[in-house]
Structure 1
Amino acid sequence: MKGKIGLVVGFGAGYVFGTRAGRARYEQIKKQWLKVWHLDPVQLQVTRVQEYAKAQVAAVPAALWTGAVKVVKAASAAGTPEQRLHSAVDATKDAADDVADTVKDAAADAERTTKAKTAAKPAATPKPAAKSKSAAKKTTPEAE
């Protein structure tokens, strides 16, 4: 599915930038794109992506910093250069695993948050059906 979306986006961008129709066609395409961009389902997805990104920004730097500190300590520990190298490599692998776990946890948290927000929204209430003209014209026997 991601490949198809990328293909469509790439095709659209290529058409917009490669068209010889000029500025008028570009403006027409831009206007249509903005209509799509401002649709509620699109904006809902934009909000979800923003929330996900905020969760990642908060979690990942701390894990990266902790990992970098572990690697530096391992590389500067006592021992032969070979021992320090192996220690630093092991610390790097552990730090990478910690960062990956942090990213997975943040992604799961963001997904739970967006699902909870989506589930908490009340369903749209259906509008009452409009009365037909023929039903409005009918009179009851008591009214006559």
Structure 2
Amino acid sequence: MSKLSFLAGLGVGYVLGAKAGQKRYAQIRNHAERVWSSDPVQARVDTVKQTVKDQAPAVAAKLGDAAKSAGASAKERLTGEDLPPSLHRGTDHRLHADTTGYGPGGDKLP
């Protein structure tokens, strides 16, 4: 019996709370609409819109430069090689060793 009365109380509370919540939501929504459509708020919105339009080319240029730099950096990290100083890529794109320094062989050991 206690479970049944608990569930009934829960159902009544939900229905009453939903109705009260709906009224309060409508009040908040109406107040927000009045504030948004007021002259001072709309004047500020127009100012911000104009500022955004004026600054858009500069922001686009900066974003473009940043994207190019990021792309170049990513390309370098993905395609670049971290070779020791004694190795390099020749004009034929093959690895070449620097034979003037230390390397294998008895005459090149320290």
- Over alpha carbons, which structure has the higher Rg? 2
Higher relative contact order (CA 8 A, sep 6+): 1
TM-score (norm. length: structure 1)? 0.33
TM-score (norm. length: structure 2)? 0.41
